[in-house]
Amino acid sequence: MEMAFTVRLLLLLISSFFVVPIFVFSQTDGKVAVGAFLSATAGNNSSWLSPSGDFAFGFRQLENKDLFLLSIWYAKIPDRTIVWYANGDTPALAPQGSLVNLTANDGIVLTSPQGEEFWKSETSVGVVAFGVLNDTGNFVLEDGNSESLWETFKNLTHTMLPGQDIEKGGKLSSQQSETNYSKGRFQLRMQDDGNLVLNTINLPTDFANPSYYASKTTGDLNSSTAGTKLEFNSSGYVYVLRENGEKFNLKEAETVSARSYYLRATLNFDGVFALYYYPKSSTGNVSWSVVWSLPDNICSMGVDSGLGVCGYNSICTLKADKRPTCECPRGYSLLDQNDPYGNCKPNFVQNCDADELNSTKDQYEVQVLKNTDWPTSDYMQLYPFTADGCNASCFEDCMCAVAIYRVETCWKKKLPLSNGRVDSALNSLAFIKVGKRNATLQVPHLPSPDDGKKKKKLNTLMPVESTLLVTSGFVNFLLIAAVCLGFFFIFRKNHERCTQNDLDINLHSFSFQELQEATNRFEEELGRGSFGVVYKGKIEIGSGVEVTVKKLNSVIQDSEKEFKTEVNVIGRTHHKNLVHLVGYCDEAQQRLLVYEFLSNGTLASFLFGDTKPSWRQRIEIAYGVAQGLLYLHEQCSTQIIHCDIKPQNILLDDYHNARISDFGLAKLLMMNQSKTHTVIRGTKGYVAPEWFRNMHITTKVDVYSFGVLLLEIICCRRSIDMENNSDERAILTDWVYDCYREGVLECVVDNEVEALNEKSKLERFVMVALWCIQEDPSLRPTMRTVVRMLEGVVEVRIPPCPSPYSRIG
């Protein structure tokens, strides 16, 4: 194992001998001192309380599991409803014996019993003096000047509390199910255009479908009625605050006093956003009641808004409390018995082969349902038609699964059916064909990886369009890779998803000969990089798909397993700002990677070419790179540190979206490299100073490189440019800081009108970049914070001088 890790572990073990465990802090002012900690112990819900004792912060054991969720809950009511949990979309589930500490530099830190870090709060700047759990339910980390460095109110999960608001770009995310806190399919988003929307996303991606509720507070062109944020004020009103100060109440409803009731607004796992109340001084059997909820009928969600609450072939019914239930039609049953909101599968075989063998009459019976509809999935509409005719037409059609009859029209539909609902206003009939016999075991033929190899059929291939060009930085990268060897660590956030049993799930394994043919015997060379040579190729699928093939030189000799593991880690990443890995070849000494081909070249040629790209395009690219890095650092199942972020490694697709390439290679290449690293010392480029200082290498090295890249994007010039600049301008980072300090930002964009029209954004971007290039890694924000700061969701403080140690004067 890595040395650094072992040392950490040792320290932790040693320290644990001397620390007397104190689990319950009987504080009265809600304050938590730096150094305080809680431990996840079964049957012992240790927590920190707010002054009134209304809220608690600590570990909560999950039902029937030996896992604990770091969360905030109502401490005085029996069901101890959770209002916040750590790490939002991918909640940090901690095993028994995990610890949460309050530290001065990293804020709240959650570690496993082995000392592995699961999660920490992102106090990007400043030193924590203490934490305080406010009676509002907000856990705040403050610095010595009582300034808030981090708070749970700004790290949204599924619930809003009085006093909390959601700024533009912010969102609530539903949990997966009543008991599973993983990211669910529903979101409440305060959009940049001022509109508050509810929408579904198509997991596992973040692809957002059109909304199923919208506040329509985008405002008019000429007035200032656009929404600015969603507020839940301390008297219990929830409204979109408009620019002109007016309030748009989400629901006009009688109010409940926040004085005598607990109030919370929660986006439920079934997509219903509701305001709840609970009497503070309750006796006996009370539970949460609903003040109002949105949308009015979630079952009648529009078909373009995604699948709806219930799975395929399921039927949604709205209960009296405006919450949905899902039910499979007769003859169908749940695919997953534990997920009542999931898909339903037919218990019988329905296909035209089966129909041919037996006469249809013996096969099916018809079930008639009133006022039930699946508004999509129809392949034929018959008009005018009779109900009987509709029934018969479907019965005799081996394609037809169900027919809906309404106002003389018959819609014939095939499986899978989606967005099923019951609605008395429909006034319709549904004729469902139900197989009389249950299916005998008929497992559909699933292609094995070998099939794919023989037929060259790449089902998982996306339509591919792109280039891989890697030019400079050869020496640098090799050295970095070498240094990496000692320090680099990848910690697995989610062990289950990364076991080696499920290798090759998405990736195609090519033979060397196949790639030789695909590249026409490595004919067209696209570039040379630190890892080897890049060739253009074409794989024969249908009309042929263009790819780039990277021939890695001298990677890992005897570690086939590691190669596969790392390649699969890369292959498992899916994000719109990353270049997709299509497959690999691992044959004898030949190690090759096959990527999609991107047509618009590198960011380097785009930025430093003859024509200056527009400010707008550059801004979008900067966002894109930041999002891609955030994904690599925090959102893919295995954390990936890039180690070599620079404009040559950012590619542009057809729409000039930024796509990061070569991620994961640092780990791949360093596995069997020797370590000499004296040459990089002193080079000012994209390389973070800790590389030279024998310091622990973390994701913050990428943040540093991103900062340099961001400045290059803003200024459209290289980070080091001796040729076209005087001495004081040659080093971009120093020069920009000087311009910033002197308040002459128009210099850095060369008086570009478009940029100056957005002076505040320009200033924000420069400030973010200056935070990223801080010499002290702990001062640099995480990519998550960077993204938020770029979006303007989080305020950017005045950055200190990035390199106080190495600058003179």
Binding residues for ligand NAG (CB under 6 A): 21, 23, 43-44, 51, 134-136, 176, 180, 182, 233-235, 237, 247, 333, 347, 438
CB of 134 to ligand NAG, least distance (A): 4
CB of 395 to ligand NAG, least distance (A): 20
Based on the number of CB atoms within 10 Å of its own CB, is 29 exposed (0-12), middle (13-18) or buried (19 or more)? exposed
Residues annotated within a binding site:
551
CB of 195 to ligand NAG, least distance (A): 20
CB of 248 to ligand NAG, least distance (A): 10
CB of 185 to ligand NAG, least distance (A): 11
- Expressed in angstroms, the distance from the first to the final Cα of the chain is 44
- Residue 464 is given by DSSP the state -
CB of 62 to ligand NAG, least distance (A): 6
The residue (of 161 and 478) whose beta carbon lies closer to ligand NAG is 161
SS3 559: coil
Find out whether 575 and 637 touch, Cβ atoms under 8 Å.
Answer: no
CA atoms within 13 A on the CB side of 112: 15
Q: How far, in whole angstroms, is CA 214 from its chain's centroid?
A: 23
C-alpha 156/C-alpha 793 separation (Å) is 12
Q: What φ, ψ does residue 37 adopt, rounded to 5°?
A: -150, 160
Report strand pairing: 247-249 vs 378-382.
unpaired
Helical ranges in 309-448 per DSSP H: 352-357, 360-363, 387-395
Residues annotated within a binding site for ATP:
551
SS3 410: strand
Find out whether 768 and 710 touch, Cβ atoms under 8 Å.
Answer: yes
Report strand pairing: 364-370 vs 429-435.
antiparallel
Which candidate, 738, 724, 713, 523, places its Cα nearest to that of 618? 713
CB of 138 to ligand NAG, least distance (A): 6
The residue (of 204 and 542) whose beta carbon lies closer to ligand NAG is 204
The two counts, helices (H) then strands (E), for the chain are 17, 44
The residue (of 71 and 774) whose beta carbon lies closer to ligand NAG is 71
**Sheet holding 315-318: strands in order across?**
324-327, 315-318, 421-422, 372-373
Give me the DSSP letters along 499-541: -GGGTTSSPEEPPHHHHHHHTTTTT-EEEEETTEEEEEEEE-S
The residue (of 159 and 211) whose beta carbon lies closer to ligand NAG is 159
- Residue 310 is given by DSSP the state S
Q: What Å distances lie between residue 609 and 613, 620, 750, CA to CA?
A: 9, 18, 16
The residue (of 347 and 672) whose beta carbon lies closer to ligand NAG is 347
CB of 352 to ligand NAG, least distance (A): 22
12: left (phi over 0), alpha (psi -120 to 50) or beta: alpha
The residue (of 10 and 439) whose beta carbon lies closer to ligand NAG is 439
Q: Which regions of 540-653 does DSSP assign to beta strands (E)?
A: 545-552, 581-587, 590-596, 650-652
Find out whether 116 and 4 touch, Cβ atoms under 8 Å.
Answer: no
Alpha-carbon torsion angle 149, 155, 160, 166, nearest 10: 80
The residue (of 237 and 487) whose beta carbon lies closer to ligand NAG is 237
Q: What is the helix, strand, coil percentage profile of the chain, to 5?
A: 25, 25, 50
Count of residues making up the chain: 809
Active site residue 644: yes
**Encoding tokens for residue 774?**
């801080």
| CB proximity list for 659: less than 8 A, separation 6 or greater | 466, 576, 577, 578, 579, 598, 624, 628, 650, 651, 652, 653
The residue (of 347 and 657) whose beta carbon lies closer to ligand NAG is 347
CB of 234 to ligand NAG, least distance (A): 5
CB of 449 to ligand NAG, least distance (A): 23
- Residue 701 is given by DSSP the state H
The residue (of 23 and 385) whose beta carbon lies closer to ligand NAG is 23
C-alpha 658/C-alpha 662 separation (Å) is 13
Cα angle vertex 549, ends 548, 551, to 5°? 150
Catalytic-role residue among 373, 644, 653, 702: 644
The residue (of 176 and 516) whose beta carbon lies closer to ligand NAG is 176
The residue (of 43 and 809) whose beta carbon lies closer to ligand NAG is 43
CB of 370 to ligand NAG, least distance (A): 24
Active-site residues, by number, are 644
